[in-house]
Every structure is written in structure tokens, then in C-alpha cells.
Structure 1
Amino acid sequence: MVIIVAVGVAIIVERKRLRAVNARVDSLSIVPLSAFWLHPQFIIIGAGEALQNVGRIDFFYCEFPETVRSPDTAFAGTSIAVAFYLSSLLVGIIHKNADWLTNNLNHSRLYYFYTLLCVMGVLNFAYFIPCARWYRYKAKTDSTQNMSTP
């Protein structure tokens, strides 16, 4: 959900940047838009990553058998690396097949790419909801039941 909000903010900022570019008098003038406009989306993504990582590690340690906790925690980092490679592949496909991402950022349609990412995030979240509803947590055992009396 956080990525959807962050990409939505990125779409708004990119549209604002393009309006500022188009409002310039000549092509040599500096765009009057501060780089600080990028902070909200990065703050949202950073906070979301921090909260998501804590939740994922807690889920692994509470729900997985003791023998696979470490490999599953390592797999979490590997899945992030695979996601970065898939992201590069997506950028390559779009760069090759559409004019959204050109070498001149002022002539690109970067907000189309952000919109695609937002749609993919919504679809992912829509898939996550039923999976989360159908998931059954491990039964919690009371530690006092496992203690033997002397």
C-alpha cells in the first residue's frame, strides 16, 4: 500500500515538474523547481521499507519452523535483489517499446511509467488481500502447558 501512495506522489511531482519545464521562456533557462520536491516520495518509501522489513522478519520468526528461519530470512534479501533485476528488465522493455523513457527527461513521459507502477502496485495489493484473508496462522502454544511438573 505504501508503494502505491509513494508512486502517486511521484506522479504528482513529475506532472508539476513538466508544467514548470513547459512554462520556461527559452530552453536554456533553469527550471524553477527545487529538488526538495522529491523528498516526500522518498520519505514514504523509506518509512514503508522500514516497517515492512520489521513485519516480514517477525512473520518469519513467528510462523516458520525453527529449521528454516535463517534461510527464509536470507531469501527475503534475495527476493529484493531479484525484484531490482525485474525492475531493470521492465525499464528496458518500456525503453525499447515506448517513448515514455527517453534520454531527455524533459521530453519523456515518466509519469506514464509511474502510472504503470501504481497500477501494478494496486494489482499486487488486490492479490495480497485474499491471500492474507485465507492464510491461517500457526496455533499459539501456551508455554505453561509444555512445562513438566517436578
Structure 2
Amino acid sequence: MTQRVTIGIVMAIVTLTIAGIVERNRRISALEHGTFESPLSILLLLPQFAFSGLIEAFAAVALMEFLTTQLPESMRTVSGAIFFLSLSIASYMNSLLVNIIHVVTGKNNGQAPWLGGNDLNKNTVEYFYFLVAGIEVLNLLYFTFFASRYVSNNDAKNEKESENKDMEESV
């Protein structure tokens, strides 16, 4: 399970990096052609959306599996609620991050903020993608640290059973 979550987090980092690169190329292309629209193909967005689906398949499904298999029997009915609560907390944190970035980057000596406004070609949305990718790297380190120290319920039960078996054999 932890391997699938790790793969999902790594895919999130790759996806955000790809999104930042594609956005940078889109903005540069639009500015070079002097138009609001970029002449780049919409198919350049396909990899990041494909990776987004894979992130869901790896990380979200593994997290739901973790909640249903590792929580005590009495709490399994609330595992779905815990899962969706974590998604809503993440959504609120994302909104907070967007607001903070907008306020902080909006004070740059008259330069356009990273986010917001009516002209995407004046904004630098790719910086936001790269920032969130950096946060995901920290998330990967945090997850790896704690996942390596976690003892699952199954491992604990097996260890206890083997200890009991050893004690019975020695008697």
C-alpha cells in the first residue's frame, strides 16, 4: 500500500512539473505571436491529465484501502468520511495557498501576480505549479519518513501470534 501511495505522490510531482513546463511554453508562445491565445496544440495537456488519473488510481485508492483495512472494526464505517474529510481539508488548504500566493506576489513592484487577473499571459502560473511540486517533494519526504516507521495491524497480529506460538512451544 505504501508503495502505491509513494508512486502516487511521485506522479503528482511529475504532473505538476509537466503542467508548469507546458504553461511556460504556452505563455511564451502566445507572447511571441502577440496574441491572447497560444497556437500550441491542446494535446500538450494530455500527459498531465493522464497522470492525474493515475495519481487517483494509485494514491487515492491505496489510501481508501489503508483506511478500511487498518482501522479498528468499529471505525471502518467512518473510513469513507475520513477519506473525504481529508480531501476537503486539502481543498481548503489549496484555497488558502492560492490566496497567500496572490497577496504575496501581487506586491512585486507593479508586476502582475502569479495568479489572478484577466490576462493569463501576464501571470506566471507556472511558478505556482513549481511551488506546489516543491511542496509535494516535502510531502513525499514526510510520508516516507512516517510510512517506514508504521507497523500495520496485520504485522502486529502476526508478530503477536508468532510470539504466542514460540511461548507455547517452549512450555
The TM tier, using the shorter chain, reads: 0.7 to 0.9
**Counting helix residues as a fraction of each chain, which structure ranks higher?**
2
- Structure 1, unaligned runs of 5 or more: 146-150
Sequence identity (%): 35
In angstroms, what is the RMSD of aligned CA positions?
1.9
1:39 lines up with 2:51 in the alignment: no
- Structure 2, unaligned runs of 5 or more: 1-9, 106-112, 162-171
1:101 lines up with 2:108 in the alignment: no
1:75 is matched with 82
Distance 2:35 2:152 in 1: 59
The amino acid of 2:144's aligned partner reads I
Offset of residue 73 of structure 1? 2.2
- Partner residue of 2:15 out of 6, 18, 25: 6
Distance 2:40 2:154 in 1: 54
Offset of residue 94 of structure 1? 1.1
- TM-score, normalised to structure 2, is 0.75
1:110 lines up with 2:125 in the alignment: yes
- 1:58-69 equivalences in 2 (<5 Å): 58-69=65-76
Offset of residue 127 of structure 1? 0.7
Offset of residue 88 of structure 1? 1.1
2:3 is matched with none
2:142 is matched with 127
2:169 is matched with none
Q: How many residues align?
A: 141
CA offsets, 1:79-118, max 9 Å, x none? 1012111111111111122011131110001111111101
After superposing on structure 2, the runs of 4+ consecutive aligned residues of structure 1 that deviate more than 4 Å are: none
Distance 1:123 1:57 in 2: 22
Offset of residue 61 of structure 1? 2.2
Distance 1:85 1:58 in 2: 24
- TM-score, normalised to structure 1, is 0.85
